[in-house]
């Protein structure tokens, strides 16, 4: 982790930060090799036994470059940089009132619905078409075909990215049974499928890990589980419930696991300077000593999910589908918090490294690393100021890097951008990410890899 001796803090806080703070792959590149044969070897068709999809929320090329420069240096490479086949995909949504027209800047709900279902929809929609009709997701199709499944995030489990895999509502805000005002048509008491929390439990991924406990604690309003909380519904349905890192580590692999580790989103890994209109003095990021030590890190959740799903499928014909999200890259970009954003990207990269480690031992696994949309942060000339706000960080190279946020006034949410974003992959069907594709194409790549209908 890039800390100067002057800025070292209490050993306990630093030890916690080092869980994700070790450079993922701090090696310089050699751009002089002929990679033709390596590229040919990486093009593998056929069926995959497993698919591991890793989503860096809001992790555009700028966010990746910022994290790389800070953590391993400009000539270094993160784990996500080592996947053999790389392309880009477009991320636009469609307009709800006229779905024939694009909405050029997507949110995570519409973009997630795109890669989860293969269908474009409007901002705020969770795996429904613009007319509200539910569309089957890649997780649901995999489960129906006999695969084990997992859904992991550092956000609320009811947040857009994890929600699109196992629920169908007309508004992403309908997170719990007592939060259904934006989508009465989906409420259980009105004959609907229920809130996001209820539907996730009903879809029943074998591993469900993240935050959002407050929505699992809401009371079911109708149906078989009326008057129970959603968490109690999950227990009745056979879930092993865990609420802290120790419980997760000890959880057995012979039952579905629901881990909910925070009331809302999980705590940040790193903290640091907030940008100002005048820029900040050069400094470094620090571990977040206020982070709840009972919360697992993303790499812990990813490792547990992979281990459990591997054990559950060891003697079965079908393998597993697993989604892992680094959610607060986006959230800290919104907040114009460069160290928060970088720390979450580095934490996400540690999860990528675990997925690639598993794939090395199981080459019939398709690993895809991508983002749902671009975001606002930009690297600008060192020490400069912009029409927005800037902060300067001292990187792994010992050089200064100035980061600008300028899509909204300081103090308000920074905005997504409509840019295409990176998609990289390795394993069976990975060649389908090459070139410039559409976000919805990822659904068909994963569907083909798993041979599901």
Q: If phi over 0 gives left and psi between -120 and 50 gives alpha, with beta otherwise, what is residue 102?
A: beta
Residue 425's DSSP bridge partners are 85, 368
Q: What amino acid positions are annotated as catalytic residues?
A: 108
Tokens at 95, concatenated? 């307009």
Contacts of 407-411 spanning 24+ positions with Cβ under 8 A: 407/376, 408/376, 410/275, 410/276, 410/277, 410/336
Contact 301, 259 (CB under 8 A): yes
Cα separation of 274 and 338, whole Å?
7
Query: The tokens of 357 are what?
Result: 């480690």
φ and ψ at residue 43, rounded to 5 degrees: -85, 100
User: Which residues lie across from 156 on neighbouring strands?
Assistant: 211
DSSP 383-397: T---SSEEEEEE-TT
Say how many CA atoms lie within 13 Å of 86 toward its Cβ: 10
H or E segment to which residue 216 belongs: helix 213-216
> How big is the CA angle at 27 (ends 22 and 30), to the nearest 5 degrees?
165
**What single string gives the DSSP state of each residue in 254-293?**
SS-EEEE-SSSSPPPSEE-PPPBTT----B--EE-TTS-T
C-alpha 104/C-alpha 107 separation (Å) is: 10
CB atoms within 10 A of CB 204: 16
Task: Cite the DSSP H helix spans in 82-168.
Answer: 108-117, 138-144, 160-166
E strand map for 82-177:
85-90, 93-94, 102-103, 148-156
CA 183 → CA 169, 189, 219, 221, distances in Å? 7, 12, 17, 14
Tokens (6 digits) for 426: 């390795």
User: Which DSSP helix (H) or strand (E) runs through 403?
Assistant: strand 400-405
Are 170 and 164 in contact by the 8 Å Cβ rule? The answer is: no
CB atoms under 10 Å from CB of 31, counted, come to 7
């Amino acid at each position: 982790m890039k800390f100067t001796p002057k800025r070292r803090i209490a050993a306990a806080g630093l030890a916690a930060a080092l869980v994700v703070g070790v450079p993922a792959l701090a090696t310089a590149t050699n751009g002089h090799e002929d990679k033709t044969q390596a590229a040919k070897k990486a093009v593998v068709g056929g069926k995959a036994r497993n698919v591991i999809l890793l989503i860096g929320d809001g992790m555009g090329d700028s966010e990746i470059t910022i994290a790389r420069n800070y953590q391993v240096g400009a000539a270094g490479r993160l784990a996500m940089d080592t996947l053999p086949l790389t392309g880009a995909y477009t991320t636009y949504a469609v307009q709800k009132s006229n779905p024939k027209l694009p909405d050029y800047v997507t949110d995570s709900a519409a973009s997630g619905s795109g890669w989860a279902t293969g269908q474009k929809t409007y901002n705020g929609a969770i795996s429904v078409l613009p007319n509200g009709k539910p569309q089957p997701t890649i997780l649901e199709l995999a489960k129906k075909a006999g695969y084990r499944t997992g859904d992991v995030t550092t956000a609320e489990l009811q947040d857009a990215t994890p929600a699109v895999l196992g629920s169908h509502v007309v508004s992403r805000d309908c997170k719990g049974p007592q939060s259904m005002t934006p989508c009465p048509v989906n409420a259980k008491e009105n004959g609907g499928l229920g809130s996001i929390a209820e539907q996730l439990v009903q879809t029943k991924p074998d591993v469900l890990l993240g935050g959002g406990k407050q929505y699992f604690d809401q009371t079911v309003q109708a149906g078989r589980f009326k008057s129970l909380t959603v968490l109690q519904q999950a227990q009745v349905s056979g879930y092993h419930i865990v609420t802290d890192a120790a419980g997760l580590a000890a959880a057995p692999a012979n039952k579905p696991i629901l881990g909910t580790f925070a009331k809302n989103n999980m705590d940040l890994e790193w903290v640091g300077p907030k940008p100002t209109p005048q820029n900040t003095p050069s400094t470094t990021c620090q571990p977040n000593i206020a982070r709840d030590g009972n919360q697992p890190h993303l790499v812990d959740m990813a490792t547990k999910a992979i281990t459990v799903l591997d054990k559950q499928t060891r003697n079965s014909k079908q393998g597993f589908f697993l989604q892992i999200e680094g959610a607060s890259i986006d959230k800290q970009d919104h907040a114009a918090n460069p160290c928060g954003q970088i720390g979450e990207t580095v934490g996400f990269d540690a999860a990528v490294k675990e997925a690639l480690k598993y794939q090395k031992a199981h080459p019939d696994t398709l690993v895809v690393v991508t983002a749902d949309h671009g975001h606002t942060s930009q690297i600008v000339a060192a020490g400069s100021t912009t029409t927005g706000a800037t902060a300067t960080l001292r990187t792994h190279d010992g050089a200064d890097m100035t980061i600008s946020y300028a899509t909204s006034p300081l103090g308000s949410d920074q905005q997504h951008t409509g840019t295409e974003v990176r998609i990289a992959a390795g394993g069976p069907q990975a060649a389908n990410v090459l070139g410039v594709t559409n976000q919805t194409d990822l659904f068909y790549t994963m569907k083909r890899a798993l041979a599901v209908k």
